Amino acid sequence: MARRLLGNRPYSADPDGLHLWLPLPPEWQVSSFAAAALEAGVRVNAGDLFAVGADKPSAVRLCLSHEVDDRRVEDGL
C-alpha cells in the first residue's frame, strides 16, 4: 500500500517490515513536519528519536502496523 501511494517519493523500508522512513525535503524541519502531520490526524515519529550519536536524520518514521483500519492507513499516507 505504501509503495503504491507514495509513488516516486523517496522512502526506505524493509519489504517485510512494519514501518518506513520518509526523508524530508530541506524546507521541512522534522519537528514542524511532525506537528503538521499530527494536526492533520497522522502521528509520525521524528527520526532523531531512533538515532544514536550526533548524526540526526532529517526523516520521520511511519509505523504501518498499529492501525487496524486499512482506509485510515491509506488516508494517512
Confidence category of residue 15, pLDDT binned at 50, 70, 90: confident
Report if residue 50 sits inside a domain.
yes
Cα separations in angstroms, 16 against 19, 20, 37, 65: 9, 10, 25, 11
Closest CA to 19 of 58, 77, 71: 77
Q: Does a structural domain hold residue 32? A: yes
Distance in Å from the first CA to the final CA of the chain: 9
Q: Is residue 44 assigned to a domain?
A: yes
Q: pLDDT digits over 19-73, tens only?
A: 889 999 999 999 999 999 999 988 888 888 887 877 778 899 888 877 778 888 8
Q: Is residue 71 part of a domain?
A: yes
Instruction: Identify which has the larger pLDDT, 74 or 24.
Output: 24
Q: Give which of 74, 72, 68, 70 is closest to 3, Cα–Cα.
A: 74
Asked, for residue 58, whether it belongs to a domain, the answer is: yes
Question: In degrees to the nearest 10, what's the CA dihedral of 75, 44, 26, 32?
Answer: 100
Per the structure, the complete domain to which residue 57 belongs is given by 2-9+19-76
- pLDDT, residue 72, reads 84
Tell whether 61 is covered by a domain.
Answer: yes
Q: Is the pLDDT of residue 8 over 80?
A: yes
Residue 14 included in any domain: no
What is the number of domains present in the chain? 1
Residue 77, pLDDT score: 83
Give the three cell numbers for residue 2. 505504501
What local confidence, expressed as pLDDT, does residue 23 receive?
93
